[in-house]
Amino acid sequence: MTKSKELGYFIKMKRLTLCPEQFKIPVDSRRRVKGLRREEVADLAGISVDWYVRIEQGRENVNPSDAVLNSLAKVLQLNFEEKEYLFHLVDKIPPMDDEPYITVSETLQKFLDSQNPSLAYVMDHNFTVIAWNKAATRVYGGYENANEKERNLVWRVFHDPYTKQILDDWEGYAKLRVEQLRTKLSIYQNNAFMVDIINDLQNDKFFKNWWNSPEVIGTPEGQKLLHHPTVGDLYLSHITLETTEIKGAYVMIQMPVDESTKNKLQQLTL
């Protein structure tokens, strides 16, 4: 199979997995089409039906632009690995920063919500929380009202008084974030957001000392104790899962260790 045919087959198979109701497309009892129609995908992607059909048919000498590929990736709800594969089929590399804001899929958000009363959130490669469930925001404070920098876990641990208040081992946690940030910066050397966070924190004496010390070692993430101002002590165990949906992102889940903590989290999420 040529790459053109493989591209057409791939987007067709993804089209057939989509549900019209997801896109508020009216469906009646007479509809017999599995998934979305070709013209529906074309309309959602903002391209002509003829152009979409030529791509799906695997016509030779069809070379969709980055903009078309990005639009198709969004409509077909591709995760980052699938998006890389889509671009690979036309011998291209997906742009690193094609979207100003990263959003999670409806499916991933439903997964986060299903974890209540355990805390669950998604952290991107900048250590910024980009999605969360009710328990996470009730314990860690209003993510929904915070800007991007205020949702960054490195910035937050040094600047947010509430975070300092609830962490039983603030120093160990803060050192861990400094250590992780240094490691990430070696991978994303030209990351403007990370550099901005580092420059912002240079006036903090703890950050400055730890950042300039190559031997700083934080407390490993695992079980943790939080002092919540309303319900009291929370004992949580921690697990991190890598997601293929967003490149460099992780799903963080913090579960109650004992029945008392579970009851307190249920109280917070009522």
DSSP sequence for 38-79? HHHHHHHHTS-HHHHHHHHTT-TT----HHHHHHHHHHTT--
Distance CA(68)–CA(106), nearest Å, equals 22
Tokens of 139: 């314990």
Rg, the chain, Cα only: 22
Q: How many CB atoms lie within 10 A of CB 128?
A: 22
Beta strand segments in the chain, E: 119-123, 129-132, 224-228, 232-242, 250-256
Are residues 170 and 225 in contact, defined by beta-carbon separation less than 8 angstroms?
no
Burial of 236 (0-12, 13-18, 19+ CB in 10 A): buried
Cβ neighbours of residue 50 under 8 Å, at least 6 residues apart? none
pLDDT 10s per residue in the chain (270 long)?
Answer: 788 999 999 999 999 999 888 888 888 878 877 889 999 999 999 999 999 999 999 988 888 999 999 999 989 988 878 888 899 898 888 775 444 456 788 889 999 999 999 999 999 989 999 999 999 999 998 898 899 999 999 999 999 999 999 999 999 999 999 988 988 887 777 788 899 999 999 999 999 999 988 776 766 677 899 999 999 999 999 999 988 778 788 999 999 999 999 999 999 999
- The CATH fold assigned to 106-268 is Beta-Lactamase (3.30.450)
Widest Cα–Cα separation across the chain: 68
Q: Determine the Cα angle at 168 with ends 225 and 238, to 5°.
A: 35
Tens-place pLDDT, residues 14-56? 999 998 888 888 888 788 778 899 999 999 999 999 999 999 9
Distance CA(99)–CA(247), nearest Å, equals 13
CATH 1.10.260.40, the chain: domain bounds: 3-88
CA atoms within 13 A on the CB side of 34: 5
Strands 119-123 and 129-132 come out as antiparallel
Q: What is the Cα 254 distance to its own chain's centre?
A: 17
CATH of domain 3-88: 1.10.260.40
CATH 3.30.450.180, the chain: domain bounds: 106-268
